[in-house]
Structures are given as C-alpha cells and as structure tokens.
A and B are shown apart, each in its own frame.
Chain A
Amino acid sequence: DIQMTQSPSSLSASVGDRVTITCRASQGISDYLAWYQQKPGKVPKLLIYSVSTLQSGVPSRFSGSGSGTHFALTISSLQPEDVATYYCQKYDSAPCTFGQGTKLDI
C-alpha cells in the first residue's frame, strides 16, 4: 500500500507568516490528493481536493500544489484561527490513506 508522509510533524509560526506543510506519497498518486484541517475537539474539515482545488468557503490564503509524489499545503498569511492539525489524504484507490498529521501552533 502507498504510504503518505507529512513534514514537519509539528510547526510553530507567527501571525502573518507564510507556512508550508509537505506531503510525500511512496508512489505516484497523480492529482488524487486532499488536505484537511482539524481544530482541537472538532470534526475534520476538507480544505483542498485534487491537489489545488479549494473547497467552497475555504479562505484564499490556503493553497495546494504538487503532483505525482510530492505535495504541499501553503497558508500565505497565518491567522490565529488556523491553529489546527492538518492532514493530507490520497484517494487514487483504496486504501485512501491519511498522512500522520502536522500540528500547527502560533
């Protein structure tokens, strides 16, 4: 099965910073990649699918990039409400594995 590896595992940044989280697939997954945000005690929320398509209602400071095996989630200007754990997920075929998560603090 394809493994999804995120880095870093945790990250501390300041308000206004540009933040990038990376996700690497052990094999190519084309553009079948999504990103999720999970705030403490809350249900996960879909941010991005198909590598770079923003889900409706997601602020434009979030963006996704990459292809094949290397992907990235970027927050252009970090806001206090962005404190959360972020997960990538592949969905080219089952199992639709998640990355281990990146905890983002301010």
Chain B
Amino acid sequence: EVQLVQSGAEVKKPGESLKISCKISVYTFTNDWIGWVRQMPGKGLEWMAIIYPRNSDIRYSPSFQGQVTVSVDKSTNTAYLQWSSLKASDSAMYYCARGYHGLDVWGQGTTVTVSS
C-alpha cells in the first residue's frame, strides 16, 4: 500500500525558517510525481508545486515561486517543502500528494502555525 507520511505540526515565529517532510514509499518515489498543496484555515485547496524525485524536475505555481522551495532526498525517499523566512500568512495545512494526472494518494497533512 502506498503511503505518504508527513512530519508533525509546527509552531514558528515570523522570520524563522522551516522544512517539513513527506516520507514516500520506494516505488512511488522513483516512479511518480509528488505535489504540495496548501489549505489555509477555512479556505480551499491551492496547488503549490510538484517534483519528480527521479530527476528533481520541479514545477512551481507562480503564486509560490520564490516563496517556498521543494526538494527531495533520494537516500531517504523523502520530499521536503521549506521556507527561509516564515510569515503569519504561511499559517496553513500543507499536504503532499502523489501524482500529476490526479493526486491519488495524500499525506495526512502538516499544520504550520506562524505567530509571534
């Protein structure tokens, strides 16, 4: 069974950096795209970026380009979403999910709270 297991909830202050993770099964890591989706409190789904772990091909939404960085670690089959300087407006639930042609397997989500 394919599973995407995300890191736990984070509470950070504005200006701090953060890297959240998404652990992926080996088969999926080498054969599928992994996407990141944001959901702000009470709001809809926002597609952020997608990465192909096999060759680290990355596509960003213009809304998130330059605001976040997506990466993978092939040695641990893990995808990452990171911020260099958080803002209060980054407070949201973040999901990783498998696939490009439809996101068919989702992680459980990571809640990020940014507050002074």
Q: Do A and B come from one complex?
A: yes
Known: A1-B62, A95-B62, A96-B50. A101 touches B104 (CB 8 A): no
28 A-B interface contacts by CB (under 8 A): A1-B62, A34-B101, A34-B102, A34-B103, A43-B108, A44-B95, A44-B97, A44-B103, A44-B106, A45-B106, A46-B102, A46-B104, A49-B102, A49-B104, A50-B101, A55-B102, A85-B44, A87-B44, A89-B45, A89-B47, A91-B100, A91-B101, A94-B60, A95-B59, A95-B62, A98-B37, A98-B45, A101-B45
Known: A46-B102, A46-B104, A49-B101. A94 touches B45 (CB 8 A): no
The verdict on B35 contacting chain A, using a C-beta distance below 8 Å, is yes
Neighbour of A94 across the interface among B44, B61, B99, CB < 8 A? B61
- Across-interface contacts of B99 in A (CB, < 8 A): 46
Q: Which chain A residue shows the least CB distance to B106?
A: A43
The verdict on B46 contacting chain A, using a C-beta distance below 8 Å, is yes
State the interface size on chain A (CB cutoff 8 A): 24
A-B contact count (CB 8 A): 66
Interface of A toward B, CB cutoff 8 Å: 1, 32, 34, 36, 38, 43-46, 49-50, 55, 85, 87, 89, 91, 94-101
- Across-interface contacts of B50 in A (CB, < 8 A): 94, 96
Q: Is the CB of A96 within 8 A of B47?
A: yes
Q: Is the CB of B102 within 8 A of A38?
A: no
List 20 other contacts, CB 8 Å, given A91-B101, A101-B45.
A32-B101, A36-B103, A43-B107, A43-B109, A44-B37, A44-B103, A46-B99, A46-B102, A55-B102, A85-B44, A87-B44, A94-B61, A95-B61, A95-B63, A97-B47, A98-B44, A98-B45, A98-B47, A100-B44, A101-B44
